[in-house]
Chains A and B, each alone.
Chain A
Amino acid sequence: MPHDVIMPALGMAQDSGLIVSWLKSPGDAVKAGDALMEVETDKATMEVEAQADGFLTRVTAAAGDTIPVGNVVAVIAETAEAADEDPPAPVAESKAPAEAESEPAPAELPDGKSVIMPALGMAQDTGLLVSWAKAPGDQVAADDVLFEVETDKSTMEVPAGHDGYVAALLAEAGDTVPVGESVAIISADKPADPQRRSAGPSAKPTAAPSDPAAKTEEAIATKATAPARPSPTKAAAVEGVILASPKTRRLALEEGLDLARLAEAGHPQPFHVRDLETLRTMPARGTGSAAPVEAAPARHLSARVSSDGLAGFLAWARAETQGSVDQSTLLAGFARASLRSLDGNPDPVIEVETLHGSTRFPEAAEDDATNGKPDLILRDLRASPLNGLRMGAEAAPVLTLVQEDETLTLTLECGAGQLDARAAISLVSGFAGRLEDPLRHLL
């Protein structure tokens, strides 16, 4: 396959190079890496190496010529004779075999010198051909503007580079053409049959709209990715922005707490870790709330045990003490023991509520009853006619005791942030066990 030798960009802002001398002659065998010619730029003189093995043919520039960067100055062919046999611009065809096969075979390209897409920027691989300034058959001078190119950075006019006639235009306005690709042929004599065609498929890496294959591919790609993209507006359930530290957000997420509730309650922002304490103790959102916010779920657990155990124990205690037993103290003791065993809190505070009032245990905790919340509220409603209830979470976990006939029903309600599932289950089980067989737990 023939290989173009082009004027390389050796400097950062170089647009042409002066060929000082050729180090190989037309017809010479060359190996990749051999120095072919010497080029002088603003800054230095450098040797340009062959990029492929073969024979140097079709040398179109002589020592002393100043050649625009990107222009072909010679071709390395497979045979020394290739120069005479090959059509003048085999490059465009060889680089676009697909075009040659899929479309009606194009007419032989006319003789002449190739004009290629120049490298105008430092890292440019393609140029968009904006418009042609000449039509096929027009006479041109080397300095005449032949076409206009748009790159990432700017739009520039490109001169013909050779005197002669436009024998062929090989790309259309709107085509994106790789740097180095031939876009026109300038012939010395007036062409009999000037040609005009568009750049081959290989010259349209971004799929020009006229290319149906590429279009289909693009459509498939769009279809495949479109449904996978989540709607960006879906997450915003609460209006306004909540200001909270990253750590607060992480902990809230881990504990299933909803910062929006703090915001709704008018708690001052930004929220920090310490504000989660407030959030944990907030009563669960009422079920009637219309807000679509996902509230921290409330826990509701209940257990039934026979009242025999407790009744028997109370009778025994009354006989032993020859008087009344403070049932609240007894129940608080059970609750304290149950709590202790689950989270290691050595001194949990229990508030026992009865129909007559409430008492805190241990009694020392009575003093700061106004500042702190208890670890557990024990609501003893055995004397009431209630036989079940669902109240929702409160400031502290609530354990309610109701009685129907010979059955005690124990219900724990709390926020998910107050007790995790395991703790809630152990608390109810532990307390139920103690009610069922108080003596065993005392022993």
Chain B
Amino acid sequence: MREITLSKAVNEAIAEEMRRDETVFLLGEDVAEAGTPFKVLSGLVEEFGTERIIDTPISEPGFTGIAVGAALTGSRPIVDLMFGDFLFLIMDQLCNQAAKAYYMSGGKLNVPMVLRTNLGATRRSAAQHSQSLHALVAHIPGLKVALPSSAYEAKGLMKTAIRDNNPVVIFEDKLMYQDKAPVPEEEYLIPFGVANVKREGKDITLIGTSSMVQVAEAAAEALAKEGIEAEVIDPRTIVPLDEETLLKSVKKTSRAIVIDEGHQSYGVTGEIASRLNEKAFYHLDAPVVRMGAMDVPVPFSPALEDLTVPTVDAVTAMARRLVAGEMIHAA
């Protein structure tokens, strides 16, 4: 199977859906000629023109509001939010308007909008362009949240998102745009709420999101050399969350680490760990451990920045301790 970059996969997904459905259009800053700072959208304006690939002024609340209105009136807009950090600017449009219109209209109004943005640190972008804020929107009922972990997921989840009749926020990891993965030529969609068991194992479950799936897989590889069989699961969407697959795995392995690049406190790791504790408690032989980003603004210093996110070594070491039955945070 051919291998393409995550960037190319997103581009293909949007182009295919825009060809299929003329109500789909895209708007955002530097999306047309510039093709975004990450060059994800290069070539789209040439095919679809400036009527459907719209460069907007620098006003995130403005263009997100336009998209919500367009979605309410029959279009299927894709909002390009250059950095996930800019989510703070559009909280009202996204969380108060887009997320609630369906509910507050008694099901009479839909907001079939996709907000594509990014997450991920270690790109030396400093504290205001390096945050992973997916937990923020996952907290709001009415928003679906997808976290592709490779080019394959990026394409399949984007196509599903564009066809969804409700607002979906997709976070791409900005460090993975050039990562290649096998992606079929033929069309495919990845349903929401279906986790992917990337590797089977019996000793411990490593649940990773977005780029942390790679970290989990590398840790599993290292653990295998020591005779520890780790199961690696990528939930792919955190809203909806495929609880069933996660619980089934944890009931089998009795141990789990949840790895996510958002800040650890009040985050995705805490939510998933808590569900496992509640629903698989009597099957656990060790505490479910969260591994998120440090609770600090992301440092600009490369040496410091690299310390803030979960690493393969840290995950491997923690898994080893759990399997050995070491006491974790207990007195």
Contacts and interface: CB of A to CB of B under 8 A. Distances in A.
Interface of A: 243, 245-250, 269-270, 272-274
B330 A247 contact: no
Contacts of A274: 325
B330 A273 contact: no
Interface stretch (B94-102, B280-288, B313-321): B280-288
Nearest to B323: A272
Q: Is the interface of A mostly helix, strand, loop or mixed?
A: loop
Contacts of B281: 246
Interface string B156-183: 0000000000000000000000000000
Contact of B282 (A243, A250, A269): A250
B330 A248 contact: no
Given A243-B330, A270-B330, 17 more contacts: A245-B254, A246-B281, A246-B282, A246-B283, A247-B254, A247-B282, A247-B283, A247-B284, A248-B285, A249-B282, A250-B283, A270-B327, A272-B286, A272-B325, A273-B254, A273-B285, A274-B325
A246 B325 contact: no
A37 to B, nearest CB: 29
B285 A245 contact: yes
Interface in B259-302: 281-286
Interface of B: 254, 281-286, 325, 327, 330
A272 B285 contact: yes
A248 B286 CA distance: 10
A59 B286 CA distance: 70
Question: Considering the complex of A and B, which 3 residue pairs feature the smallest CB-CB distances, nearest first?
Answer: A272-B325, A245-B285, A250-B282
20 contacts: A243-B327, A243-B330, A245-B284, A246-B281, A246-B282, A246-B285, A247-B282, A247-B283, A247-B285, A249-B282, A250-B282, A269-B327, A270-B325, A270-B327, A270-B330, A272-B285, A272-B286, A272-B325, A273-B254, A274-B325
A275 to B, nearest CB: 8
A246 B255 CA distance: 11
A245 B330 contact: no
Contacts of B286: 245, 272
Contacts of A270: 325, 327, 330
Contacts of A272: 285-286, 325
B43 to A, nearest CB: 51
Contacts of B285: 245-248, 272-273
Nearest to A241: B331
Contacts of A273: 254, 285
A262 to B, nearest CB: 13
A67 B286 CA distance: 62
A246 B330 contact: no
Contacts of B284: 245-247
A274 B285 CA distance: 10
Contacts of B327: 243, 269-270
A243 B282 CA distance: 14
A243 B285 CA distance: 11
A69 to B, nearest CB: 27
A272 B325 CA distance: 7
Of A243, A246, A248, A273, chain B has the most CB atoms within 10 Å of the CB of: A246
A105 B195 CA distance: 73
Contacts of B282: 246-247, 249-250
A246 B283 CA distance: 7
Nearest to A250: B282
B145 to A, nearest CB: 30
A308 to B, nearest CB: 53
A361 B102 CA distance: 74
A247 B286 CA distance: 8
A227 B283 CA distance: 34
A247 B287 CA distance: 11
B287 to A, nearest CB: 8
A274 to B, nearest CB: 7
Nearest to A269: B327
A269 B282 CA distance: 18
A274 B254 CA distance: 12
A247 B254 CA distance: 8
Contacts of A245: 254, 284-286
